[in-house]
Amino acid sequence: MDSSRDVPFAGIVLAAPPGRPIQAVLLSQLALQSAQVPGGAGWMPKVEEAAARYAAGEPMNPDPGLPDNVKMVLASFEATMNLPFARELWVESTCDSLGKVKIPTLVLIGGRDVQIDARADGDPLQETAAGMTNVTFAFPPNANHVFKEDTRNPAEVAATPGNGYNAPGTHLDPESLETILAWLRETAV
């Protein structure tokens, strides 16, 4: 086998890509979560201050009064092994690169995704790809962030620790699977 030969990509499946910078995604997720907890809305100004410091290249230095789970999420962006990549993602979205892609691309965002939103992220991605015949979009309505079928309402999802992605009985969303397989059949031609 000749390992020196480059094999070009035939296509890309972008599964739950953010159409906004990660900073905006994180702030919207934390706002949604804080709204579910009594007094949680009071966290957001402190979270936004930490995010602004981080965007300015400084340490987040989250307020000690924030709940431990929120401080842990913020601290994950400053972990030594994550720091260079996290700082880059903080201000970048998939829109920044999507317009340069020339090979077939499937953008897949689940309708039950609470991390990446079909409108807030999908709309900017669709605007970026306007006129690009190589880019296909799909929004399977019952797929969550990891493309498992989820028929719970948003309040039930928010009340589930870890969103229940690996709970017993979870399974791949059938519509997501068929969408990917159909796209691969069309693309492999």
Render pLDDT for 29-42 as a digit per residue (tens, 0 to 9): 888 888 878 888 89
User: Percentage of the chain surpassing pLDDT 70?
Assistant: 94
Look at residue 7 in the predicted model and tell me its pLDDT. 78
pLDDT band at 92 (very low <50, low <70, confident <90, very high): confident
Q: Are residues 45 and 105 in the same domain?
A: no
Q: Are residues 44 and 76 in the same domain?
A: yes
Is residue 66 pLDDT above 60, yes or no? yes
Q: Are residues 112 and 79 in the same domain?
A: no
Q: Are residues 39 and 83 in the same domain?
A: yes
Looking at the domain assignment, is residue 7 inside a domain? no
Is residue 1 pLDDT above 60, yes or no? no
pLDDT band at 109 (very low <50, low <70, confident <90, very high): very high
Structural domain boundaries enclosing 47: 22-90
When pLDDT is averaged across residues 182-186 and rounded to a whole number, the result is 94
Computed over every residue of the chain, the mean pLDDT equals: 89
Question: Are the beta carbons of 62 and 71 closer than 8 angstroms?
Answer: yes
Look at residue 64 in the predicted model and tell me its pLDDT. 94
Residues 6+ apart with CB under 8 A from 22: 86, 89, 90, 91, 92, 93
6 residue type, one letter: D
Q: Are residues 113 and 143 in the same domain?
A: yes
Of residues 37 and 184, the one with the higher pLDDT is: 184
Count of CA atoms in the C-beta half-sphere (13 A) of 35: 9
Of residues 53 and 168, the one with the higher pLDDT is: 53
Final residue belonging to a domain, choices 30, 60, 90: 90
Final residue belonging to a domain, choices 71, 90, 109: 90
Looking at the domain assignment, is residue 158 inside a domain? yes
> What is the pTM for the complete model shown?
0.83
CA Rg, the chain, in Å?
19
Q: What is the tally of structural domains in the chain? A: 2
Q: Are residues 61 and 122 in the same domain?
A: no
Q: Are residues 70 and 130 in the same domain?
A: no
C-alpha to C-alpha distance for 156 and 89, rounded to whole angstroms: 29
When pLDDT is averaged across residues 63-80 and rounded to a whole number, the result is 91
Q: Are residues 181 and 106 in the same domain?
A: yes
Looking at the domain assignment, is residue 63 inside a domain? yes
Is residue 121 pLDDT above 90, yes or no? yes
The kind and range of the H/E element at 108 are: strand 105-108
Of residues 136 and 152, the one with the higher pLDDT is: 136
Look at residue 139 in the predicted model and tell me its pLDDT. 97
Final residue belonging to a domain, choices 90, 110, 139: 90
